[in-house]
């Protein structure tokens, strides 16, 4: 039953024939699949059954407040989805939030990881402090940012401005910006960047620690400057980690709900897709319509995911080296 | 290998503890089934509800043996959960806090149990409850919810600031007078603004006060034939007035301000006036409030109508699917009774009484003494509010600061986004309302058929 | 290896240059401290505010030195409502640990079948797992609510455990696969020669070797489960509500709540903070999908 090596390797598998493949000959294909099946079957049931149900509901005119008026309505919900400008705006907002948050926190995370890669007094404490924002329950973080930091009349930000101006005896002339109203989207993004920078930093720190130190030492001995070391040694090594961090970060940031819900309740042009669908579901009671929106977003995500997964395929290829 | 096996032992230990706990909590979780000695209540977490939670065990449960489990959530979450729960008739909750906004549609869908037996109980004395509230919670002759507390809206102002500035507040001010006064008290103290008005998006936020302004300016969401009037000259004039006032003399961060932000601004001395719910007075006059005793209260400002205060009450309704109907009725009978009001008065203080629903409350000497600054204005405001005829023209559905149709929440929230953006200076009122008109007319068209 | 650097870029190192470098290093240490303190400031402010009264919590300029009070914490422990936070924390612990356990039980063998003894099309399976992670969770609210209602699973920790398990399996499979790939093939081969079966191999060899990876994966899954609010809010009512749901009960649209919410926010985050701080190295390992040992 040593079938494994005889079969031609499918194209996708060619990117990384795992280490041990040819060394074992005992287990048959069924036995090999067995350990995988519980997880796979579980995931298929738990994610696909609800999806099929969503798909079915999306073809019904179903408003939960009119239980006697539920009927099959073909594609009318889908027509509504494509006509509805809110959903289009929500897509743009989602893309903007995701791109800005992932890029900025990636850059900040990289900078901080490089700083933390050096030896200095209290490095462990600094790392501990820096991780903390990632560990705060997201809704708690959003609440604190909204009420204790951004609030224009008693938030910490404006409080600090008053205090600084007060040092020069001009406390009452301190600028008191209305953070969320003036910069609604940036307020949401800033809070998310605060939460996600540690995540990026941790991944990149892991990458830095995996650098071949002997090569760097050698380069130093030859008198290479720090920038040269970063540009020609560290950065190429980190590339894979940067991609990984961007991918994982995007997966989570796209789903952002708590921050938008808490900080702005989706007002002032900050409603992203999760929030818009939630609103359609809970406030509009439009079960059919929100399901159709959900289905459309699922297909768009899959399209986007396929694109993103090309990045991953390079990850899969590289990691076994 | 030593270290690894220690990690394994530790994680196995953690997991087995969690499994054991899971078994325990599973057992505890079975309580909401056949056991009729326990009911589940879903409600918004306003301060009056927190008091209720606190007093339940030692009083209601002690007397009746019925345990009450509460879930209290912020208003938006509570509403979302209530509508999901009731439309699915999931039976997770026996009682929920609802209002005159939900009752008509919930009752029509058969999601609520009628409470006529409570209404006819002489102990409960339904006649003591303000008729306008009872009427708003009655559908086709059956009462479906009992009010827990009621409120209207009025104008609150700092008497000390007005005196220092030599200004007087008329007892029935017009909005124009209020705007002029706001300009004069703006900056009366460092960092003090003229008036606090809600600007946060949401049908229950900016559109609660704003709809009363629209009403008194002669506007309406819908005329009696379901033609939307959101871009009508009256609606626009009212909204423009509101936005201009709050931009010129309103609180900092107005586009994000709701009741809580305004309450903070008022107690911190950041504003001199505030137009909002009458129940705010209880918090302003509380013993630890820095502005207690400095506040004056007058009727809601008007323009073309005689009065313009809103009418709202959080009321208890029983889910049809509840398996504990009797226990749930007993709970409502207790929570909405005048006995409960007395309990709050004696145990927690008379200013915390869930007032605004019974006329006997306003005959109670203890209560009127504790709330002497505002009880008369509150009562007058509630009694003068007429949900069936709040403006200049006949309306297709009842409601003062809302229209009692299920689509209103979504519609008004969408329009409110635009108004909030106008307050933030992102767009004009005109733009916001012409977008809003389309949204509203789409809803109106459904009813025209 | 130095050959990869262009010849012209390589200069010479002088003593003078070295002191400058050392000074700059000190400066960078200070910079790291400043960034850390700024990043931590919101949390510090949250903790400080939780010890202020509701009126001193909301002032401008901030009242750093306002007298301390435990009112906010008293509210958290039920002074205003008589509701104890304990059942919520127990529910959170049960759902988070329970789902984490199931995730590990399901994901580790799957990762084995995707790395050590790879099935055909293993990379497609990996992609499938990751794709499920990209679906909008919020679109699942309604169907999962309806299914849970039909199965009588509303307001049970069971349904939350199921949801969180499906939420974390993809990441766990990816992480565990990377960890398992690091196991030297020789060890497995030796076991093979000894005639060890799959079960023996798995329990006696692979699990112990992969235990640091298991711990890292468990920590990540625990964090994401503990922090989840959307489904916890929609699927539970009285008996199974979790700690983040309890936290939202302190937000009110009618009244002051800053100190209470800060106390509750900190308390609800505390288990994750402790777990995360205690296992920082695991976080580094876990998030890099095991690429670092």
Residue B90 tokens, joined: 């999931």
Contact A258, A145 (CB under 8 A): no
**Given an 8 Å threshold on Cβ–Cβ distance, is A152 in contact with B83?**
no
**Given an 8 Å threshold on Cβ–Cβ distance, is B253 in contact with A172?**
no
The reply to whether C66 touches chain B by the CB within 8 Å rule is: no
Which chain A residue shows the shortest CA-CA distance from C23?
A: A120
Alpha carbon separation from A231 to A227, A314, B42, C4 (Å, rounded): 6, 21, 59, 11
Residues 6+ apart with CB under 8 A from A107: none
Q: What is the mean pLDDT of residues C220-246?
A: 92
Confidence of residue C43 (pLDDT cuts 50, 70, 90): very high
Domain range for B105 is 35-144+312-370
Which chains are within 8 Å of B by 3+ CB pairs?
Answer: A, C
Q: Which positions in chain A touch B423 (Cβ < 8 Å)? A: 181
Mean pLDDT score of chain C, rounded to an integer? Answer: 82
Tell me how close the Cα of B199 comes to any Cα of chain C, in angstroms.
13
Same domain for B133 and B276?
Answer: no
- The residues pairing with B67 across neighbouring beta strands, listed in sequence order, are B38
**Given an 8 Å threshold on Cβ–Cβ distance, is A184 in contact with B424?**
yes
Same domain for B130 and B162?
Answer: no
- Stated length of chain B: 449
List, as ranges, residues 107-146 from A with C-beta within 8 Å of B.
Answer: none
Interface mutation vs chain B, best among A181, A261, A264, most B CBs within 10 Å: A181
3-class SS of residue C232: helix
Same domain for B256 and B328?
Answer: no
Q: With respect to CATH, is domain C86-249+270-287 assigned 1.10.3720.10?
A: yes
**Given an 8 Å threshold on Cβ–Cβ distance, is A194 in contact with C289?**
no
Task: Quote the percentage of chain C above a pLDDT of 90.
Answer: 35
**Given an 8 Å threshold on Cβ–Cβ distance, is C157 in contact with B53?**
no
- What are the helix (H) ranges across B229-320? 233-249, 259-267, 280-284
Alpha carbon separation from B187 to B22, B165, B191, C118 (Å, rounded): 59, 11, 6, 74
**DSSP string across C114-183:** HHTSPPTTHHHHHHHHHHHHTS-GGGGHHHHHHHHHHTT-TT-HHHHHHHHHHHHHHHHHHHHHHHHHTS
Alpha carbon separation from B194 to A193, B158, B184, B186, B187 (Å, rounded): 36, 10, 7, 4, 7
- What are the helix (H) ranges across chain C? 15-50, 54-57, 71-76, 86-115, 122-133, 141-150, 157-181, 185-193, 198-200, 207-227, 230-235, 243-248, 258-278, 280-287
Q: What is the pLDDT of residues C146-186, one digit of tens each?
A: 999 999 999 999 999 999 999 999 989 988 888 888 777 77
In angstroms, rounded to a whole number, what is the distance separating the alpha carbons of residues A23 and A8?
A: 17
Q: What is the pLDDT of residues C54-110, one digit of tens each?
A: 777 777 677 777 788 888 898 888 887 788 899 999 999 999 999 999 999 999 999
In angstroms, rounded to a whole number, what is the distance separating the alpha carbons of residues B133 and C261?
A: 33
Confidence of residue C22 (pLDDT cuts 50, 70, 90): low
Same domain for B291 and B357?
Answer: no
- The residues pairing with B296 across neighbouring beta strands, listed in sequence order, are B157
Tell me how close the Cα of A266 comes to any Cα of chain B, in angstroms.
8
Does residue B422 lie within any of the structural domains? yes
In angstroms, rounded to a whole number, what is the distance separating the alpha carbons of residues A168 and A158?
A: 16
In angstroms, rounded to a whole number, what is the distance separating the alpha carbons of residues B74 and C251?
A: 6
Q: Which positions in chain B touch A184 (Cβ < 8 Å)? A: 424
Which single residue is written with the structure tokens 């005119």?
A61
In angstroms, rounded to a whole number, what is the distance separating the alpha carbons of residues A229 and A234?
A: 6
**Given an 8 Å threshold on Cβ–Cβ distance, is C251 in contact with B74?**
yes
Task: Give chain C's largest Cα–Cα span.
Answer: 77
E strand map for B65-129: 67-73, 95-98, 112-113
**Given an 8 Å threshold on Cβ–Cβ distance, is A153 in contact with B80?**
no
Among B308, B300, B273, B295, residue whose Cα is nearest residue B372: B295
Among A116, A114, A94, A96, residue whose Cα is nearest residue A104: A96
The ranges assigned to domains in chain A are: 79-319
**Given an 8 Å threshold on Cβ–Cβ distance, is A301 in contact with C124?**
no
ipTM confidence score:
0.83
Does residue B241 lie within any of the structural domains? yes
- Partner-chain residue, chosen from A172, A267, A285, that has the shortest CB–CB distance to B83: A285
Residue C58 tokens, joined: 């909301």
Tell me how close the Cα of A38 comes to any Cα of chain B, in angstroms.
20
Q: Which positions in chain A touch B84 (Cβ < 8 Å)? A: 64, 282
**Given an 8 Å threshold on Cβ–Cβ distance, is B87 in contact with A182?**
no
Which single residue is written with the structure tokens 């509901």?
A57
In angstroms, rounded to a whole number, what is the distance separating the alpha carbons of residues C156 and C231?
A: 12
Strands B67-73 vs B38-44: parallel, antiparallel or unpaired: parallel
Q: Which pLDDT does position A185 carry in this prediction?
A: 93
End-to-end CA distance of chain B: 77
Tell me how close the Cα of C226 comes to any Cα of chain B, in angstroms.
14
Which chain A residue shows the shortest CA-CA distance from B253?
A: A178
Residues 6+ apart with CB under 8 A from B205: B198, B199, B258, B259, B416, C253
Same domain for B397 and B441?
Answer: yes
Is the backbone peptide bond immediately before C61 cis, with ω within 30 degrees of 0?
A: yes
Same domain for B289 and B190?
Answer: yes
Lowest-confidence segment of A27-36, A255-264, B47-56, B61-70 by average pLDDT: A27-36
**Given an 8 Å threshold on Cβ–Cβ distance, is A51 in contact with C143?**
yes
Q: What's the number of domains chain B is made of?
A: 2
Q: Which positions in chain B touch A182 (Cβ < 8 Å)? A: 424
- More confidently predicted of C208 and B428: B428
Among A78, A85, A89, A80, residue whose Cα is nearest residue A271: A89
Q: Which positions in chain A touch C140 (Cβ < 8 Å)? A: 47, 50-51, 54, 294
In angstroms, rounded to a whole number, what is the distance separating the alpha carbons of residues A35 and A51?
A: 25
CB neighbourhood size of C13 (10 A)? 14
In angstroms, rounded to a whole number, what is the distance separating the alpha carbons of residues C4 and C223?
A: 42
Q: Which pLDDT does position C176 carry in this prediction?
A: 86
Contact C182, C171 (CB under 8 A): no
Tell me how close the Cα of C29 comes to any Cα of chain B, in angstroms.
34
Which single residue is written with the structure tokens 């002051």?
C256
CB neighbourhood size of A41 (10 A)? 11
Contact B271, B123 (CB under 8 A): no
Strands B138-139 vs A71-72: parallel, antiparallel or unpaired: unpaired
**Given an 8 Å threshold on Cβ–Cβ distance, is A65 in contact with B76?**
no
User: What CATH number does the domain containing B72 carry?
Assistant: 3.40.190.10
Does residue B377 lie within any of the structural domains? no
CA atoms within 13 A on the CB side of C79: 9
Among A165, B432, A186, residue whose Cα is nearest residue C60: A165
- The residues pairing with B228 across neighbouring beta strands, listed in sequence order, are B222
Give the dihedral sign, CA B244/B249/B250/B255. Answer: positive
Residue B44 tokens, joined: 């918004």
Residues of B with CB under 8 A from a CB of A: 76, 79-80, 83-84, 87-88, 105, 109, 190-191, 200-202, 251-256, 261, 264-265, 268, 270, 406-407, 409-410, 413-414, 416-417, 420-421, 423-426
Residues 6+ apart with CB under 8 A from C193: none
In angstroms, rounded to a whole number, what is the distance separating the alpha carbons of residues C197 and C110?
A: 17
Strands B295-299 vs B312-319: parallel, antiparallel or unpaired: unpaired
Residues 6+ apart with CB under 8 A from C275: A135, C219, C222, C223
**DSSP string across C165-193:** HHHHHHHHHHHHHHHHHTS-HHHHHHHHH
Contact B160, B294 (CB under 8 A): yes
CATH code of domain A79-319: 1.10.3720.10
Which chain C residue shows the shortest CA-CA distance from A291?
A: C139
Same domain for B289 and B330?
Answer: no
Same domain for B95 and B107?
Answer: yes
Report the predicted TM-score, pTM, of the whole model to 2 decimal places.
0.85
In angstroms, rounded to a whole number, what is the distance separating the alpha carbons of residues C163 and C231?
A: 8
Among C244, C248, C250, C289, residue whose Cα is nearest residue C271: C244
Among A279, A295, A278, A297, residue whose Cα is nearest residue A52: A295
Which uninterrupted H or E stretch holds B19? Answer: helix B2-29
3-class SS of residue C251: coil
- Stated length of chain A: 321
List, as ranges, residues 193-212 from A with C-beta within 8 Å of C.
Answer: 194, 197-199, 202-203, 205-207, 209-210
Q: Which pLDDT does position B176 carry in this prediction?
A: 96
Same domain for B138 and B45?
Answer: yes
Q: What is the mean pLDDT of residues B403-430?
A: 92
Point out the domain boundary residue: B370, B395, B414: B370
Chain pair A-C, CB pairs under 8 angstroms: 370
Tell me how close the Cα of C92 comes to any Cα of chain A, in angstroms.
12
Does residue B295 lie within any of the structural domains? yes
Residue by residue, pLDDT tens for chain A (321 residues) are 333 333 333 333 333 444 444 444 455 667 777 888 899 999 999 888 999 999 999 999 998 888 888 889 888 899 988 888 888 889 899 999 999 999 999 999 999 998 888 888 888 889 889 999 999 999 999 999 998 889 887 788 888 888 888 888 777 777 888 888 889 999 999 999 999 999 899 888 888 877 777 787 888 888 888 888 888 888 888 887 888 788 888 888 988 898 998 888 888 888 988 999 898 888 888 899 999 998 988 888 888 777 766 666 666 654 443
Strands B138-139 vs B95-98: parallel, antiparallel or unpaired: unpaired
The phi-psi region of residue A273 (left if phi > 0; otherwise alpha if psi is between -120 and 50; otherwise beta) is alpha
Q: Which pLDDT does position B30 carry in this prediction?
A: 38
Residues 6+ apart with CB under 8 A from C191: C200, C201, C204, C205
**Given an 8 Å threshold on Cβ–Cβ distance, is C145 in contact with B84?**
yes
- Stated length of chain C: 293
Contact A313, A243 (CB under 8 A): no
Q: Which pLDDT does position B33 carry in this prediction?
A: 41
Q: Which pLDDT does position B27 carry in this prediction?
A: 37
CB neighbourhood size of A235 (10 A)? 12
CB neighbourhood size of C76 (10 A)? 26
Same domain for B163 and B64?
Answer: no
- The residues pairing with B96 across neighbouring beta strands, listed in sequence order, are B42, B317
Q: What is the mean pLDDT of residues B92-107?
A: 93
Task: Flag whether pLDDT at B151 surpasses 50.
Answer: yes
Contact C187, C260 (CB under 8 A): no
């Amino acid at each position: 039953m040593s079938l494994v090596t005889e079969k031609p390797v499918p194209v996708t598998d060619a990117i990384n024939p795992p280490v041990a493949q040819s060394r074992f000959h005992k287990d048959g294909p069924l036995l090999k699949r067995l350990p995988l099946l519980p997880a796979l079957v579980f995931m298929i049931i738990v994610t696909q059954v609800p999806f099929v149900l969503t798909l079915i509901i999306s073809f019904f005119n179903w408003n939960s407040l009119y239980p006697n008026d539920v009927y099959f309505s073909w594609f009318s919900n889908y027509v509504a989805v494509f006509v509805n400008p809110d959903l289009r705006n929500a897509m743009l907002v989602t893309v903007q939030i995701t791109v800005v948050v992932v890029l900025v926190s990636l850059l900040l995370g990289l900078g901080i990881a490089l700083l933390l890669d050096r030896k200095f007094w209290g490095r462990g404490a600094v790392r501990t402090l820096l991780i903390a924002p990632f560990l705060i329950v997201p809704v708690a973080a959003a609440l604190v940012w909204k009420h204790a930091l951004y609030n224009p009349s008693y938030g910490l930000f404006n409080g600090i401005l008053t205090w600084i101006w007060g040092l020069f005896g001009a406390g009452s002339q301190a600028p008191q910006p209305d953070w969320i109203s003036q910069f609604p989207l940036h307020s949401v993004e800033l809070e998310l960047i605060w939460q996600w920078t540690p995540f990026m930093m941790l991944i990149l720190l892991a990458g830095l620690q995996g650098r071949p130190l002997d090569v760097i030492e050698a380069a130093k001995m030859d008198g290479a400057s720090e920038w040269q070391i970063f540009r020609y040694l560290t950065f190429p090594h980190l590339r894979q980690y940067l991609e990984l961090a961007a991918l994982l970060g995007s997966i989570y940031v796209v789903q952002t709900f708590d921050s938008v819900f808490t900080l702005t309740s989706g007002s002032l042009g900050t409603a992203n897709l999760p929030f818009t669908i939630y609103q359609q579901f809970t406030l509009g009671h439009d079960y059919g319509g929100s399901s159709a929106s959900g289905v459309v977003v699922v297909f768009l995500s899959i399209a986007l995911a396929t694109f993103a997964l090309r990045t991953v395929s390079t990850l899969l290829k590289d990691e076994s080296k | 290998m030593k270290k690894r096996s220690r990690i394994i032992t530790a994680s196995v230990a953690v997991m087995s503890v969690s499994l054991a706990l899971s078994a325990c909590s599973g057992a505890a979780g079975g309580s909401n089934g056949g056991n009729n000695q326990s009911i589940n209540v879903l409600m918004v977490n306003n301060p009056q509800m927190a008091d209720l939670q606190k007093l339940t065990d030692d009083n209601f449960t002690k007397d009746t043996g019925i345990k009450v489990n509460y879930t209290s959530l912020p208003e938006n979450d509570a509403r979302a959960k209530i509508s999901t729960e009731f439309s699915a008739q999931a039976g997770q909750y026996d009682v929920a806090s609802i209002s005159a906004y939900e009752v008509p549609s919930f009752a029509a869908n058969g999601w609520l149990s009628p409470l006529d037996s409570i209404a006819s109980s002489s102990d409960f004395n339904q006649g003591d409850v303000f008729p306008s509230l009872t009427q708003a919670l009655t559908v086709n002759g059956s009462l479906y919810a009992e009010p827990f507390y009621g409120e209207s809206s009025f104008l609150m102002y700092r008497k000390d600031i007005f005196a220092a500035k030599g200004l007087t507040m008329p007892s029935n001010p017009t909005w124009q007078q209020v705007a002029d006064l706001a300009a004069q008290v703006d900056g009366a103290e460092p960092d003090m603004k003229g008036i606090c008005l809600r600007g946060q998006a949401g049908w229950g936020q900016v559109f609660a006060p704003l709809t009363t302004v629209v009403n008194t300016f002669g506007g309406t969401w819908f005329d009696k034939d379901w033609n939307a009037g959101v871009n009508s000259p009256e609606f626009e004039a009212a909204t423009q007035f509101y936005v201009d006032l709050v931009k010129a003399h309103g609180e900092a961060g107005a586009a994000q301000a709701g009741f809580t932000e305004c309450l903070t601004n008022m107690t911190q001395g950041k504003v001199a006036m505030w137009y909002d719910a009458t129940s705010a007075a209880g918090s302003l006059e509380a013993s630890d409030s820095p502005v207690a005793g400095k506040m004056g209260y007058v009727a809601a400002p008007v323009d073309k109508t005689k009065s313009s205060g809103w009418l709202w009450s959080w009321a208890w309704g029983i889910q049809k699917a509840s398996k504990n109907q009797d226990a749930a009725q007993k709970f409502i009978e207790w929570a909405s009774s005048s006995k409960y009001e007395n309990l709050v008065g004696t145990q927690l203080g008379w200013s915390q009484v869930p007032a605004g629903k019974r006329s006997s409350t306003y005959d109670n000497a203890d209560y009127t003494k504790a709330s002497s600054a505002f009880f008369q204005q509150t009562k007058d405001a509630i009694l003068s509010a007429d949900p069936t005829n709040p403006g200049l023209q006949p309306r297709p559905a009842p409601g003062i600061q809302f229209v009692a149709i299920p689509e209103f929440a979504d519609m008004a929230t969408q329009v409110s986004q635009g108004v909030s953006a106008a307050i933030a200076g992102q767009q004009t009122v005109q733009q916001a309302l012409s977008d809003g008109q389309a949204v509203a007319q789409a809803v109106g068209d459904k009813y025209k058929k | 290896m130095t050959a990869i650097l262009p010849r012209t870029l390589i200069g010479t190192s002088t003593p003078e240059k070295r002191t400058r470098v050392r000074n700059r290093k000190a400066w960078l240490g200070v910079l790291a401290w400043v960034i850390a303190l700024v990043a931590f400031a919101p949390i510090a402010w949250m903790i400080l505010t939780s010890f202020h009264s509701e009126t001193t919590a909301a002032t401008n300029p901030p009242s750093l030195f306002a007298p301390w009070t435990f009112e906010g914490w008293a509210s958290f422990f039920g002074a205003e409502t008589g509701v104890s936070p304990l059942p919520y924390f127990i529910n959170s612990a049960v759902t988070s640990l329970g789902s984490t356990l199931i995730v590990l039980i399901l994901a580790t063998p799957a990762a084995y079948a995707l790395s050590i003894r790879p099935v055909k099309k293993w990379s497609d399976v990996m992609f499938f797992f990751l794709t499920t992670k990209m679906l909008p969770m919020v679109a699942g609210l309604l169907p999962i609510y309806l299914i849970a209602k039909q199965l009588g699973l509303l307001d049970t920790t069971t349904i939350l455990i199921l949801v969180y398990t499906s939420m974390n399996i993809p990441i766990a499979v990816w992480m565990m696969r990377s960890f398992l790939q690091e196991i030297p093939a020789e060890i497995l081969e030796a076991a093979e020669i000894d005639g060890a079966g799959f079960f023996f191999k798995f329990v006696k060899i692979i699990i112990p070797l992969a235990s640091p990876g298991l711990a890292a994966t468990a920590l990540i899954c625990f964090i994401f489960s503990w922090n989840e609010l959307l489904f916890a809010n929609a699927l539970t009512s009285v008996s199974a509500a979790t700690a983040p749901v309890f936290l939202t009960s302190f937000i009110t649209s009618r009244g002051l709540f800053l100190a209470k919410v800060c106390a509750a926010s900190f308390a609800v985050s505390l288990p994750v903070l402790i777990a995360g701080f205690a296992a920082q190295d695991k976080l580094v390992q876990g998030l890099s999908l095991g690429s670092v040992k």
